[in-house]
Amino acid sequence: MKKKDQKFKNLINKNYKYQLLENGFSNKDISIGKKVLMSKRITMASHTKNFEIAFAKKLGAKYALMVNSGSSANLLATFAAGNPIKKNCLKRGDEVLIPVLCWPTSIWPLVQFGFKPVLVDVDIKTLNVDLADLKKKINKRTKAIMLINVLGISSDLFEIKKIANKKKIIVIEDNCESLGSKLKNKYLGTFGDYGTFSFYYSHQITSGEGGMVTCNKKEDYDLLFALRSHGWLGGTRFYKRNLKLYNDYAKQNPKLDPRYIFINSGFNLRPTDIQAAIAHNQFKRLDKLKKYRKINRNLIIKKLLTSKKWNNQFKFIVTPKNIDPSWMGLPILVSEKYKNKKQKFINFLDQKGIETRPIISGNFANQPAAKLYKLNEKNIKFNNAQKIQDLGFLIGLHTRKISKSKLDFIHDVFFMIDHI
């Protein structure tokens, strides 16, 4: 085996001493998953529906629809917002504002459906969209805003929703990283016309993969339901559908089998019932998982700030006012003096066994794909997003109280930054 191939293999099989998430599945999660598997009803069924009902109820949304990933949730919500069956849908060429600090599958549905993404800078203090830049970029062509709530916190969503309502702008709220967070006691993900969520492995709850879309209008829910499954009116027998709608289409199309009437275009974004059962079980203990992530965040920050070796090597994001965060990870910025050695430090952490990630994907305007699709033709400088990319990274927050030995390990490795 070539050295280069061996290095890649080692990277894939790396055993981290401090991972993004540790022990993501409880014994009960595994037992429930096995039970569904043995039931021989693996595809989307009663567990999916029960989870959707519980999810909507807890968050205060009228409707919730599970899909197979957070990326699929963004795809579905975006396609619904631009579907011609809606009276005031987004149309090709309409501008959609989106923070430049984003994940690819927040922005690609906008491109794929012919909308024009307009990149907006972020607030360095919160990592979320910069309100001043957002307001500056709203014009008569702006028809939607794709918000991204980063790592458990958000901007002032009440202010953004007020602006959107006044100007009749659709809001899609990508809450994939912030399940369980609240702003003034209202759950993030419920401010927009659509909210999207992810149950990826390192997120607040996990089913390995999985996602959810929320909305408050029945016509939106009916559309999402059809789009999730091939544009199919019938769906699955575990759902009570709108019988009037069903009968109307059946009467209008008497030559078609009424069980298989397709009313729109669509995808297959359905989850499995195994995913739903595991995610639902974790969702029941969301508040507990949220509590331990908060505790561990505070313990790690305190350990570093009170160290004798502390010399402002790192900066931490302060929880914004009125936010009750459900942290997905611990975002960290190295001080400016370490800017040129940040990547070396990230590599060093990896070698020592601390798993890291960029803060989302950094300044997305820098990505080769963004250049390929000319997402920043005017070469606008996004100073805050660039600073976050240059200085920022995140480490995981676990869902059980961190041990003293792991705190000491993080402390000792982090302060080696002065010697790299």
> CA-to-CA distance for 130 and 159, rounded, in angstroms?
12
Q: Are residues 200 and 336 in the same domain?
A: no
Residues 6+ positions from 102 with CB-CB distance below 8 Å? 146, 148, 174, 360, 361, 364
> CA-to-CA distance for 95 and 386, rounded, in angstroms?
23
Q: Which amino acid is at 10?
A: N
> CA-to-CA distance for 242 and 264, rounded, in angstroms?
16
Tell me which of 283, 312, 332 is where a domain ends.
283
- Strands of the sheet containing 63-67, edge to edge, are 63-67, 211-215, 194-198, 170-174, 142-148, 95-99, 116-120
**Overall number of domains in the chain:** 2
Residues forming beta bridges with residue 174, ordered by sequence position: 148, 196
Host domain of residue 363 = 3-22+286-419
Please give the model's pTM, rounded to 2 decimal places: 0.94
Q: Residue 376 sits in a domain of what CATH number? A: 3.90.1150.10
Q: Are residues 278 and 349 in the same domain?
A: no
The rounded average pLDDT for each run of 10 residues, N- to C-terminus, in the chain (420 residues) is 51 77 91 93 92 98 98 98 94 98 98 98 98 98 98 98 97 98 98 98 95 96 94 67 75 90 94 97 98 98 96 95 97 95 96 96 97 95 98 97 97 93
Q: Roughly how many angstroms between the first and final C-alpha of the chain, as a whole number?
A: 30
Tell me which of 253, 283, 313 is where a domain ends.
283
What's the token pair of residue 63? 């409707």
What's the token pair of residue 284? 């029941």
Task: Give per-residue pLDDT as tens, 359-397.
Answer: 999 999 999 999 999 999 999 999 999 999 999 999 999
> CA-to-CA distance for 135 and 140, rounded, in angstroms?
12
Catalytic residues, which ones?
A: 203
Q: Are residues 271 and 373 in the same domain?
A: no
Q: Are residues 224 and 361 in the same domain?
A: no
Helices 342-352 and 404-414 pack at an angle, to 10 degrees, of: 140
Q: Residue 250 sits in a domain of what CATH number? A: 3.40.640.10
pLDDT at 4: 52
Tell me which of 231, 248, 283 is where a domain ends.
283
Residues forming beta bridges with residue 118, ordered by sequence position: 97
Q: Are residues 174 and 244 in the same domain?
A: yes
